[in-house]
Amino acid sequence: MQGFRPIRFGNAKTSWQEDVVTNIGLDVVFWKGKLSVTADWYNKNSTGLLFPVSLPAILGEATPPNVNVGDVKNMGIDFTLGSKGRFSKKSGWDFTLTFSHYDNRIVKLNDVPFFDDMAGIVRNEVGYPISSFFGYKIIGFFQDDADVAKSPKQTAASPGRFKYFDADADGEITAADRIHFGNPNPDFTLGLNIGFNYGNFDFSTFFYGCFGNEVYNYYKIETDIYSSGQPKSKTALYDSWTPQHHNAIAPIQEISVNFSNSEPVNSYALENGSYFRNKTMILGYNFPKSWLQKIKIERFRMYVQAVNLFTITNYSGLDPELPSTGGSSFGIDLFGKYPTNQKQYLIGFNLGF
C-alpha cells in the first residue's frame, strides 16, 4: 500500500544564525624558534541561535524544525606555549602546552523566559551558561522527627530522606525553590605534548585535562537509591542512611518513590567532572638507513604505544569524558556511558620502500 508521511517539519520564520566575533591575538617567536607564544582573546556574540523545538507527540515522528531561540555570548582566551630545539647533534626536544578558557552566557531568549531539556535536568535561562543543571539543591538528610518539624515544610519529609534548600526562604519547599545548581562548562582545558629524540630513538606523550566542570551522573540515582529499581551499588549497601548511620552518602533505602528521595530532579547526582588523562605514550626506533639500503627499504620504524595509560579524576562513573547528549545538553551521564578510556598496548611498524 502506497502513501506518504512527513520526514521533517519546516519553519518559514527561521533564519540563519549570525555570529559577530572580535579577536585580539599575539604571535611571538624567540631564539630562532626555540620558544614560541601564541595568545588569542575572543568575544563571540551569536544572535538567532538555532535549536530544535519540541513539538507535541500528536504531530507525529517527523524531525522538528530548528528555530531561532535567542542570543548567546562566548568570551575566552586560547594560549599556546611551544618550544623546539636540540640538545646536541643526536638529541632534541619538542614541547607544546595549550590552555583554553571560555565564559558562556545566554543573553536573550525569544518568546520564552527559559526552556528545559533532558527531562528537566537542564534549564537554559537568561544570565546562565548553556546546559546548566536545574532542580532542588540537597543540603543534607532529615536526621529525626525533630529535624523534620523545625525545617521548612517539605512534601514526604521523613528521617533519612533528602532535605532541600529553601531558596526563597518562605518556609516551604515548592517548585519556586528549584535553582541552577551545576555547570558542565569547564573553567579551563589543558593539553600537553612532550617529545624527545636521541639518536634513532624517539619518545612522545600527550596529556589532556578538563578542570572545573560538573557532571550529572544520572546512573548514580539508579544504583544508589533503592526505589529506582536498578541493581544497587556498594554505596547503597554500605553507606546509606540508617538510624545508626547519620553521616551517610546515600539516603535511606526504601521502596517508596516520593518527592523527598528520587522523584524530582535534585543535586544528588552532581559530581566534579574534572580529569587529567594521559592519552597516548609512544616509544619508537628508526632503523639506520645504512642497514635498510642493503635490502632496498627506504625507512623502517618500530614502536610500542600505550593508550589511556592513566586518568586522574574523582568522578565515580565509568568515564568523565562525556559526549553531548543532544540538543543544548552536555555533561550528563545518562546510563553509565560506555567508556572511551580503555587501556591499550600496541606494537606497530612503519615501512617505506
Q: pLDDT (tens digit, 9 = 90+) per residue, 160-171?
A: 999 999 999 999
pLDDT tops 90 at residue 270: yes
Decide if pLDDT at 193 tops 90.
yes
Inside any domain, residue 96: yes
pLDDT the model gives residue 173: 97
Confidence of residue 226 (pLDDT cuts 50, 70, 90): confident
- Indicate whether 1 pLDDT > 70: no
Separation between Cα atoms, residue 82 and residue 66, nearest integer Å: 42
In a domain, 222, yes or no: no
Residue 65 predicted with pLDDT over 80? no
The pLDDT of residue 315 is 94
Look at 4 and 47; give whichever has higher pLDDT.
47
Domain assignment present for residue 43? The answer is yes
* pLDDT tens, position by position, 179-190: 999 999 999 999
CA atoms within a 13 Å half-sphere pointing along the CA-CB vector of 187: 7
pLDDT tens digits, one per residue of 84-120: 999 898 899 999 999 999 999 999 988 778 888 877 8
Task: Look at residue 90 in the predicted model and tell me its pLDDT.
Answer: 87
Any domain includes 107: yes
Residue 232 lies in a domain: no
**Quick one: cell of 148?**
523534620
Strands (E), 132-187: 133-135, 138-141, 162-164, 179-182
pLDDT averaged over every residue in the chain: 88
Per-residue pLDDT at 64: 74
**pLDDT given for residue 229 in this prediction:** 65
The pLDDT tens digits for 330-347 are 899 987 777 778 899 999
Confidence of residue 44 (pLDDT cuts 50, 70, 90): very high
Q: Report the percent of the chain where pLDDT is more than 70.
A: 93
In the structure, what pLDDT confidence band is assigned to residue 11 with cuts at 50, 70 and 90? confident
pLDDT at 47 over 90: no
Please give the model's pTM, rounded to 2 decimal places.
0.86
Are 173 and 163 in contact, with CB atoms under 8 Å apart?
no
Report the helix count and the strand count for the chain, using DSSP H and E: 4, 18
Query: Given this model, what pLDDT does residue 327 score?
Result: 61
d(CA 28, CA 23): 16
Write the single-letter amino acid at 290: S
More confident residue, 251 or 14: 251
Q: Which residues of 204-240 are buried (b: 16+ CB within 10 A; e: fewer)?
A: bbbbbbbeebbbbbbbbbbbbbbebeeebbebbeeeb
Asked if the structure places residue 97 within a domain, the reply is yes
> Residue 56 has what pLDDT?
65
Task: Provide the pLDDT for residue 328.
Answer: 66
Stretch among 11-20, 55-64, 68-77 having the lowest mean pLDDT:
55-64
Query: How far is residue 166's CA from residue 171's CA, in Å, rounded to a whole number?
Result: 7
d(CA 218, CA 121): 10
Total domain count for the chain?
1
Per-residue pLDDT at 28 exceeds 70: yes
Task: State the residue range of the domain holding 116.
Answer: 18-125+181-214+271-352
Per-residue pLDDT tens for 319-328? Answer: 999 877 666 6
The answer to whether residue 330 is domain-embedded is yes
**Confidence at residue 92, expressed as pLDDT on a 0 to 100 scale:** 93
At 57 the pLDDT is 66
Residue at 165 is within a domain = no
Instruction: Check residue 73 and give its pLDDT.
Output: 93
What is the band of 351 on the pLDDT scale with cuts at 50, 70, 90? confident
Does 310 score more than 70 pLDDT?
Answer: yes
Mean pLDDT confidence for 190-218: 95
